[in-house]
Amino acid sequence: MAIAVRNPTRPKGRHSAWIGCDFILANIASDAKIPMVLDGRSTDPRRVREQYKRLLPLQNQRVENRGWTVDVLNAVRSIGKGEFSLTEVYAYTERLQSLHPKNRHVQDKIRQQLQRLRDLGFLEFVHRGHYRLRS
């Protein structure tokens, strides 16, 4: 999760208790980190808008599914290759299981999310069990 709930505060005087949150930047998908300033130089606004528009299809997904989609995309990105196999993504089964402990069919979910990433334009299907990242 990219957002962690903090412990609630105690009410003081006229103020009521509230619960704050911390953003855990390390847990934000690399695709969602859109640099507006990089190495002290501003990024071309067209480039920023292009990167943002690329993420828009994710907002139409339910939050539970979006988490899975982004987690599988992170696994794919961490493989470090433009073209990869389903077997290489399956190597992340334990990690994905720890992120989603209620799901007992992780490999099925991986395949489903790879299809979703393909449909959203993040991946392209090369041939059975092989995919390519789109830039």
- Give the C-alpha separation, 72 to 95, whole Å: 10
Task: Please tell me the predicted confidence (pLDDT) of residue 13.
Answer: 63
Residues 6+ apart with CB under 8 A from 3: 21, 22, 23, 24
Among the listed residues 35, 28, 97, the one whose alpha carbon sits nearest the alpha carbon of residue 66: 28
pLDDT for the residue numbered 1: 64
Whole-structure pTM value? 0.73
Q: Are 73 and 122 in contact (CB under 8 A)?
A: yes
- The structural domains of the chain, ordered by start, are 3-133 (1.10.10.10)
Q: Would you state the pLDDT for residue 15?
A: 66
Residue 76: Cβ-neighbour burial (10 angstroms; 0-12, 13-18, 19+): buried
pLDDT value of position 124: 95
- Local mean pLDDT, 10-residue blocks, the chain (135 residues): 76 70 80 88 92 84 82 92 95 94 94 94 93 88
Q: What is the pLDDT of residue 56?
A: 84
The pLDDT score that the predictor gives to residue 14 is: 66
